[in-house]
């Protein structure tokens, strides 16, 4: 059974934005939870080794959708978070996000094309779990415009069947070939996804921009 808080959320979503209900539910499906929790688990270890000794974190989420990852980071990351800026080009993510039970003091939704952003020194961590949805030059732009020392978290996959996936990677090796030379302390992983969730591999890497 869903709890009363989520019942209220769904009722309001259905009333206000019925055409977004399924998309919201999809943004919280098992695959999404698994990949985001995998990220949080590995990032905790990485921050323990390479993170700040003190102070809080400003985090940018690129292609943040309705905010699931932002929510998981607040719940599961063992560091203090000052602010999470969730960028998405879809103007409805902000409207839907307002309805959702998210920590609005920390999570800020921004409707902006990330190709227009100069990241400079604005963020301690820049997270992009949607690289397969973006042209490579856009992903490169986000890395190029950030200052040295910015931590990056990148995810992709080899799930070519989905029509939104225009920039998948063939393998972890091919994924790393695109990014490793940008970063120090570069690490990467592969996680196989079962047939029930599309039978593909997901790739993830962390690094500190040189």
Q: Which positions lie near another protein, rule CB under 8 A?
A: 14, 18-23, 26, 89-90, 92, 133, 163-164, 166
| Distance between CA atoms of residues 136 and 186, nearest Å | 19
The dihedral through the CA atoms of 45, 179, 122, 103 has a sign that is negative
Strand, coil or helix: what is 29?
Answer: coil
Choose between 128 and 150: whose C-beta lies nearer to another protein: 128
CB of 184 to another protein, least distance (A): 31
Is 145 exposed, middle or buried, given 0-12, 13-18 or 19+ CB atoms closer than 10 A? Answer: middle
20 with 9: CB under 8 angstroms? Answer: no
Choose between 46 and 133: whose C-beta lies nearer to another protein: 133
- φ/ψ of residue 189, rounded to 5: -145, 160
CB of 42 to another protein, least distance (A): 25
Choose between 21 and 34: whose C-beta lies nearer to another protein: 21
Choose between 4 and 91: whose C-beta lies nearer to another protein: 91
Q: Which two tokens stand for residue 116?
A: 């227009």
The count of C-alpha atoms lying within 13 angstroms of the C-alpha of 182, restricted to the half-sphere facing its C-beta, is 26
CB of 86 to another protein, least distance (A): 15
Count of other CB atoms within 10 angstroms of residue 132:
22
Choose between 22 and 195: whose C-beta lies nearer to another protein: 22
CB of 74 to another protein, least distance (A): 25
CB of 69 to another protein, least distance (A): 16
């Amino acid at each position: 059974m869903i709890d009363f808080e989520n019942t209220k959320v769904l009722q309001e979503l259905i009333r206000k934005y019925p055409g977004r209900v399924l998309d919201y539910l999809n943004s919280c499906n098992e695959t999404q939870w698994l990949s985001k929790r995998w990220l949080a688990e590995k990032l905790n270890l990485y921050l323990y080794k390479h993170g700040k000794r003190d102070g809080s974190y400003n985090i940018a989420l690129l292609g943040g959708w309705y905010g699931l990852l932002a929510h998981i980071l607040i719940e599961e990351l063992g560091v203090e978070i000052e602010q999470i800026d969730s960028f998405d080009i879809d103007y409805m993510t902000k409207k839907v996000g307002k309805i959702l039970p998210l920590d609005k003091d920390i999570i800020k939704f921004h409707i902006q094309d990330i190709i227009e952003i100069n990241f400079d020194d604005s963020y301690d961590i820049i997270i992009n779990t949607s690289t397969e949805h973006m042209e490579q030059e856009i992903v490169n732009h986000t890395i190029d415009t950030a200052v040295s020392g910015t931590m990056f978290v990148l995810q992709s996959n080899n799930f070519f069947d989905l029509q939104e996936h225009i920039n998948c990677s063939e393998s972890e090796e091919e994924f790393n070939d695109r990014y490793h030379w940008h970063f120090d302390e570069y690490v990467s992983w592969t996680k196989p996804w079962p047939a029930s969730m599309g039978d593909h591999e997901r790739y993830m890497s962390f690094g500190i921009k040189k």
